[in-house]
Structure 1
Amino acid sequence: MTALSVPPPEPDWEAAPVYQGGKRNPAFQTSTWEYAAVNFRLVAGLRVPLEALAARLRLTLESSWDDLGGMKIAMFRVRTTDFALTRHDGQDVVLVWLARATPEEDAAVELLLTVCGLDRRALLFIGNPTTGLTHCEERPT
């Protein structure tokens, strides 16, 4: 079998994950999270480390990106409820995403807190940008 070689990119092509204004590189790359995110809606923010949540549930964190930059993410199911947890590089807040097909946001957030061994003090906010975010005060134990 003859070995084929792929030529290098054209000199004026920009990186594929960067907005290019519709020119140059014929490929525009989006992240796995950008594809998956259309199936999720933001429902809460947590004030605990993503790595600790992942360790508790034995989740594997994946690297991805979106408009705001690099991020770590875990997508998983508890019973029949699909969740995603994301944290952007340099940020402390963990965003909680719920599958759009799940109607009961409050029950889903409570389920997540329960399986993570947390109570509502872990919530930084609840809600979403469309209906409004409700900031949750951190209360001493």
Structure 2
Amino acid sequence: MAETYVPGPEPDWEEAPSYQGGKRNPAFQQSMWEFAANSFRVVAGLQPPLKTLAARLRLTLERGWEDLGCVDIAMFRIGDTDFALSELEVAPVRYTVVFVRRSVEDVEAALDTLLGALGIGREALAFRGSVETGFDNCNGWPR
């Protein structure tokens, strides 16, 4: 069987994961996190670092990217609730952002479930809220 020749990229094509103003490259690559994030919504931020929280639950961190740069993520389920925790590498204030699946109706119960599994209380919350409702500073301080 003959091998199929695949030409290299065109010289004027941008890198697929980067912003492409002219959109010369026909492919725009998203990270797995960017793709999965559409199923989740932000509900809170936690003061402890993601690595510490992941270690508590023995989660494996994955590295992805989004518009603002590299991001570490852990996606997991507790009971029937899907969570994601993320930390943006270049954030001016490094909080662990808490996401729940968009279908979760009782966000407060989901937060209580997560905090219970993490062995921490609501004093660990840096902020609460959503893009839709706005965010409230809880006990947060820049770290």
TM normalised by structure 1 equals: 0.91
The alignment partner of 2:52 has SS state of helix
| Structure 1 moving runs of 4+ over 4 Å | 1-5
Number of positions where the alignment pairs a residue of Structure 1 with one of Structure 2: 138
Letter of the structure 1 residue corresponding to residue 86 of structure 2: T
Q: Output the CA distance in 1 between the equivalents of 2:112 and 2:22.
A: 44
Aligned to 1:110: 112
- Stretch moving more, 46-55 or 23-32: 23-32
Q: Output the CA distance in 2 between the equivalents of 1:17 and 1:137.
A: 36
- Stretch moving more, 64-73 or 128-137: 128-137
Note the residue ranges of structure 1 that are not aligned, 5 or more in a row. Answer: none
1:61 aligns with 2:61: yes
Aligned to 2:78: 78
The alignment partner of 1:59 has SS state of coil
Deviations 1:88-126 (A, max 9, x none): 013321100010111000110111011001111110001
The alignment partner of 1:108 has SS state of helix
Aligned to 1:35: 35
Note the residue ranges of structure 2 that are not aligned, 5 or more in a row. Answer: none
The alpha carbon displacement at 1:41 in A equals 0.7
Q: Output the CA distance in 2 between the equivalents of 1:51 and 1:4.
A: 45
The alignment partner of 2:127 has SS state of strand
Say if 1:53 and 1:14 are closer, same or farther in 2 by CA, change over 3 A.
Answer: same
Q: Output the CA distance in 2 between the equivalents of 1:96 and 1:115.
A: 14
Q: Output the CA distance in 2 between the equivalents of 1:113 and 1:13.
A: 46
| Cα RMSD (Å) | 1.4
